[in-house]
Structure 1
Amino acid sequence: MRLLAAIARAICAVNIVIGNIFAWLSLGIVLVCFTVVVQRYVFAISFVWMQDLYIWLNGAMFTAVAGFALLRDDHVRVDIFYRPATMARRALVDLIGVLVFLLPFCWIVYAYSMPFVQRAWGYSEASANVGGMPGLFILKAFIIGFAFLLAIQGIAWIIRSILVLSGNAELVPKSIQYSRDQIAADHPQGAV
């Protein structure tokens, strides 16, 4: 079980590093978009490559941080059933959800996007806009990264579920532990 916990910890570390790095793109997006607006409405000039840039930064950021968002449990969930559930029930729901929905979704995204990405790399696809940015093929590769990072974080959740359901919740890495409120609800005598 300690090996599983170490694997989950390593997966979480990867997504934490990537998430923290790519989250900074949000600042870049704001700065580039602000610059485009000022150039257009104050100086009456516009650069197509700058318009491409903030759209591409947005795409890169949201695909790269998807695993990080899952790690932080920031994805949309129907909480009316999940929030009041015990830790064991949450672990079972997470296990089923990852196996039935998340991993098949990641496989479908990978399988359908791989020819699309390979084709873009094959001819070094660039922006379709005249004066746009080169290197669109690099951005398209982020789709594969999205599927991979989301899938490995799903594997970390499977490991978390296995550890909780097997009575080894203390081995769950801190980065993916269930909330303190839930642990307190499961152990009302304060045996946390």
Structure 2
Amino acid sequence: MLVLAHAIDQLNRAVALVVRWLALVMVLVQFCIVIGRYVFGYNSIAAQESVLYMHATLFMLGAGFTLLVDKHVRVDVFFAKLSDTSKRRVDIFGHLFLLIPSMTALLYWSWPSVRNSWKILEGPISVGGIEAVFLLKSLIPAFCILVLLQSLSILVRMFHERTGE
């Protein structure tokens, strides 16, 4: 099981190594959009949507890595004061009863929309935009799967640390 957990960790690390560059590209594209608009009077809806697509990709595909390195949102006001055993219990409860069910529900309820979007190759959000909303919607199940896998990896490692196997 530890081998599987390590493989999941490596998957999320690899995804993060790729999508992290979108932050830089996103800033550069946004800079070009601003220069184009205010210096040259040129505007591109597709370029503006590309920033949205990059931001969505960076956030959605980077979420599993964020969970891996424990930089996700949590209420540290209470959590920081807990003992290690209590922290472990809170984490296990959070994974089993909050994160895994919510990701499973999101995956289940979003899938018909994603499937239909691919069926019709859903077009741009705005006239003149990127003709790939189906790719944007595909980030939802990818997000759910990466976060679910990382949650399982964390639970496996917690179990292994606890039992010492």
TM-score by length of 2: 0.94
Q: 1:35 aligns with which of 19, 32, 36?
A: 32
Contact 1:88 1:165 in 2 (8 A): no
Larger radius of gyration: 1
Whether 1:16 and 2:9 are equivalent positions in the alignment is: no
Indicate the residue corresponding to 2:142 in structure 1: 145
Contact 2:125 2:133 in 1 (8 A): no
Contact 2:114 2:137 in 1 (8 A): yes
Structure 2: segments with no counterpart, 5+ residues: none
Contact 1:94 1:157 in 2 (8 A): no
Indicate the residue corresponding to 1:175 in structure 2: none
Q: 1:127 aligns with which of 117, 124, 127?
A: 124
Give the 5 Å matches for 1:78-117.
78-117=75-114
Q: Distance in 2 between matches of 1:94 and 1:79?
A: 12
For each residue in 1:97-153, what CA deviation from the matched residue of structure 2 results, as whole angstroms up to 9, or x when unmatched?
Answer: 100000001011101110110111011112131111111101110100000000000
For each residue in 1:46-89, what CA deviation from the matched residue of structure 2 results, as whole angstroms up to 9, or x when unmatched?
Answer: 01110110111111111000100000111111123323434333
For each residue in 1:143-173, what CA deviation from the matched residue of structure 2 results, as whole angstroms up to 9, or x when unmatched?
Answer: 000000000000011112212322x2xx7xx
Residue type of the alignment partner of 2:70: D
Indicate the residue corresponding to 2:41 in structure 1: 44
Q: CA deviation at 1:6?
A: 1.4
Moved more, 146-155 or 69-78: 69-78
Contact 1:95 1:157 in 2 (8 A): no
SS at structure 2 position matched to 1:44 = coil
Q: Distance in 2 between matches of 1:126 and 1:118?
A: 14
Whether 1:67 and 2:64 are equivalent positions in the alignment is: yes
Residue type of the alignment partner of 1:65: G
Residue type of the alignment partner of 2:71: D
Q: Distance in 2 between matches of 1:139 and 1:155?
A: 25
Contact 1:91 1:160 in 2 (8 A): no
Q: Distance in 1 between matches of 2:127 and 2:95?
A: 43
Moved more, 9-18 or 76-85: 76-85
Residue type of the alignment partner of 1:127: P
SS at structure 2 position matched to 1:113 = helix
TM-score by length of 1: 0.81
For each residue in 1:26-62, what CA deviation from the matched residue of structure 2 results, as whole angstroms up to 9, or x when unmatched?
Answer: 1111011111110000000101110110111111111
Residue type of the alignment partner of 2:32: T
User: 1:49–1:58: structure 2 CA closer, same or farther, 3 Å change rule?
Assistant: same
SS at structure 1 position matched to 2:26 = helix
